[in-house]
Structure 1
Amino acid sequence: MTFPVFISTQTEPRARGKELGTHQRKQITANLAGYSDLFAAAGAGPAQVRMWGERALDRAADWAPALADEIAGIAAGAGLEPWQVAVVNARTEILAAIDATGEGECSTSVVLPGAGRPPRTVQTWDWHDHLRDAPMLWELEPRPGHVVRTFTEAGALAKIGVNSAGLGIHFNILRHDSDSADLGVPVHLIARRILDEAASVEEAVGVARSAKVSASTVITAVTMREAAAIEISPAGVAAIPPDPGGVLLHCNHFLDAALAVGERHATERPFTYVRHQHLRDHVKGLSDEDLTARALAMLSHGPDDAPVCAHPDFTQPLNQRWETLATIGLDLPAGRMRVHQGGPCQVAEETWQTF
């Protein structure tokens, strides 16, 4: 099984968006319907969701007008209103506004081996199982000669990815007491601007600090020589460096001491600490040159062990079910990703999709 791939030929934002929306109309529309169901299950009605979508679009237009134009283009191609595509991009913000619980259990590992050797990265991406068909792989050229490749959800401008400047990002959700219903810049747009503009960790941190947000996330930026987990919340932005051994691990709780005071996710989902400990206990495997070995080092199932590899509990409502939908490693020297559809327990050398 592989994820669908789309390669943009248009370079102007609105035209690029329209091209994507036209070719991915069915999947984008399905994503919107899936998120509408998720928001409804969490207690938000259509009028409230529309208001948040319109507000997210306004915030995007103020902070990154070209990305707002691209959203409008996607909507035109998909036969939707711009606010509807903004809803897909702002799903993290809307879930924070609803104060939804249990949203995501991703785990990320980055190891910098030094001596000119490339970073060894891997992450699991967990999300609600009814949205398992949401992801796609998208290649675009935001400016001449600068290529971005991203694993994202159809209609969302970016998530995990790499660029031809030698920078890549991983992506995990966080929750903080300062998260609010006053929607800010969608964190998925921050990820996109980092991929579009940044060639260094310092530049990635600068992009993150420039956005006023209403929901929390961590974007782990990595280059051949450096890495940082950029924790983003309405209360501030912190950049967590690797430890002295070059190891940087992140799950779904804040590591920065000041931001951790407002931690929300771990109070409701304390397994994030257990997963983080599992990663620490398996650093040797996570440092392996071989991506399959790194993915297998992540393998662990709850309830007896850390639930790094998640499977849905169908006795629960859809907003309380999640699944490891992808396992992803970055190949920075090649400017590409290797992506497996599913969790570490299904990984084999032949299941990787190179993009």
Structure 2
Amino acid sequence: MSITFVPASGTPRAIGRAHGEALAVPLRAFLDDGLARLNHLLAAPVTAEALLPSTAAYRAAVTAALPDLAEEVAGLAEGAGISEDEAWLLQLRREIMGYSKIPTAGDCTTWARAAGPGGRTPVLAQTVDLNGNLDDHISVLRIARAGSPRRSLVLSFAGLLGYLGLNSDGLAVGLNLVLGGDWRPGVPPYLAIRHLLDTAATVDEALKILAGLPLASSRSLMLCDHERALYVEVLGGELRVTEPETGLAAHTNHFLHPDFAPADELNVFARNSSVRRLRAAGEGLAELPPQAGPEDHFALLSRPPVCVPDRGDIRAERTVAAVVLLPAAGTLHIRPGDPSRSGTQVFAL
């Protein structure tokens, strides 16, 4: 399965333009496929015109908080030959879908290990569980912003400016969907993650930046640098940080912090899956030797229940990729599609 590699450098607009030019043909096809596949996933069909008020509200919020990324979206539109409204739709698909209490099989299993005894090096690993069959639109962006020595590797799907990744300072960021609170116009977590990779050198800096963003929706973000591994849960604009003393952190799709757990909106079927995957991840992570490499992590990422199989339903989440990030080495290791059936591809800063 192919992964498009996009090296992009310069001003935000130039970075967006390079991204758009590299993916012009597949992005046009994606937008024409049931309106970025939204109409294959939503209970009732929508039109681009009907979505304009919602996308405009999110666009205004992002432009106010993160003007550089808004400029990059404009460049993406230019490079791909699509409208700016279409480029924003690509950034906002998950926010538009919102959340509903429907049975689901999974939505990412994530863990991180801080440096520690026995030569343990920092690592962040996760499955990417999405609906919409998005494993045919995987890209890796290598971002080099003008005026900054920082470089980033970003995993992207179908024109997203951000999803997960790492930067040259040794900060890695992953994520899990958690459901709760009111989702409202603001900065989508995918774009927030990209902003962290652009601007933060450490977990501590990332937490401070994250606290100042008007986040649009609930998520859990896994953060890892040379010294720390933790997750921060987001609900209704509030943050809760959990940093295990063991240096081993794992998360799936239900809130773990006691302040947020009562507000969890995950349905019982999805919660059962989330609990099983969290247990399997925690036990598997604890058993990995200190010097475990990417392939050792992929072995765990590829096993059920961590790896969620394809049930033949485009509306159901399944594992569309597995990723191992090595912050100290500056490498992103990825297996596209079902990781038990694909080989590892490596991208370097």
Q: CA deviation at 1:276?
A: 0.4
Q: What is the rounded CA distance, in whole Å, between the counterparts of 2:53 and 2:105 in structure 1? A: 22
Q: CA deviation at 1:83?
A: 2.1
Structure-to-structure mapping, 1:326-345, within 5 angstroms: 326-345=321-340
Structure 1 residues 14-42: Cα deviation after superposition (integer angstroms, max 9, x where no partner): 12212221221122223434573643231
Structure 1 residues 132-188: Cα deviation after superposition (integer angstroms, max 9, x where no partner): 212100001124311011111132111111111111111221111x133x3221111
Aligned to 2:53: 51
Question: What 5-or-longer segments of structure 2 have no aligned partner?
Answer: none
Q: What is the rounded CA distance, in whole Å, between the counterparts of 2:282 and 2:174 in structure 1? A: 18
Which residue identity lines up with residue 142 of structure 2 in the other structure?
A: E
Aligned to 2:23: 24
Q: What is the rounded CA distance, in whole Å, between the counterparts of 1:14 and 1:285 in structure 2? A: 45
Q: What is the rounded CA distance, in whole Å, between the counterparts of 2:136 and 2:253 in structure 1? A: 23
Select which of 260, 284, 292 maps to 1:289.
Answer: 292
Which residue identity lines up with residue 12 of structure 2 in the other structure?
A: P
Q: CA deviation at 1:53?
A: 1.9
The answer to whether structure 1 residue 110 and structure 2 residue 105 are counterparts is no
Q: 1:204 and 1:267, CA in 2 relative to 1: closer, same or farther beyond 3 A? A: farther
The answer to whether structure 1 residue 159 and structure 2 residue 163 are counterparts is yes
Q: 1:265 and 1:26, CA in 2 relative to 1: closer, same or farther beyond 3 A? A: farther
SS in 1 for 2:107: coil
Q: CA deviation at 1:64?
A: 0.5
Aligned to 2:211: 209
Q: What is the rounded CA distance, in whole Å, between the counterparts of 2:227 and 2:154 in structure 1? A: 21
Aligned to 1:6: 6
Aligned to 2:250: 249
Structure 1 residues 295-323: Cα deviation after superposition (integer angstroms, max 9, x where no partner): 2123433xxxx3x2122222x4x22x232
Q: What is the rounded CA distance, in whole Å, between the counterparts of 1:118 and 1:234 in structure 2? A: 34
Which residue identity lines up with residue 211 of structure 2 in the other structure?
A: R
SS in 2 for 1:292: helix
Instruction: State the TM-score, normalized to the length of structure 2.
Output: 0.90
The answer to whether structure 1 residue 132 and structure 2 residue 130 are counterparts is no
Identity of aligned residues (%): 23
SS in 2 for 1:141: strand
SS in 2 for 1:275: helix
SS in 2 for 1:161: strand
CA contact (8 A) 1:235 1:259 kept: no
Aligned to 1:199: 201
SS in 2 for 1:8: strand
Structure-to-structure mapping, 1:39-78, within 5 angstroms: 39-40=38-39, 41-42=41-42, 43-46=44-47, 47-78=49-80
Q: What is the rounded CA distance, in whole Å, between the counterparts of 1:4 and 1:99 in structure 2? A: 32
Aligned to 1:311: 309
Question: What 5-or-longer segments of structure 1 have no aligned partner?
Answer: none
Structure-to-structure mapping, 1:265-284, within 5 angstroms: 265-267=266-268, 269-270=270-271, 271-284=273-286
Q: CA deviation at 1:103?
A: 8.8
Q: What is the rounded CA distance, in whole Å, between the counterparts of 2:68 and 2:29 in structure 1? A: 25
Structure 1 residues 220-253: Cα deviation after superposition (integer angstroms, max 9, x where no partner): 1100101221212224111221x22211001111
SS in 2 for 1:194: helix
Q: What is the rounded CA distance, in whole Å, between the counterparts of 1:34 and 1:70 in structure 2? A: 24
Structure-to-structure mapping, 1:75-94, within 5 angstroms: 75-94=77-96
Which residue identity lines up with residue 152 of structure 1 in the other structure?
A: S
Q: What is the rounded CA distance, in whole Å, between the counterparts of 2:38 and 2:130 in structure 1? A: 14
CA contact (8 A) 1:167 1:198 kept: yes
Select which of 234, 240, 249 maps to 2:236.
Answer: 234
Q: How many residues align?
A: 340
Which residue identity lines up with residue 296 of structure 1 in the other structure?
A: A
When the two chains are superposed, the root-mean-square deviation of aligned CA atoms in Å is 2.2
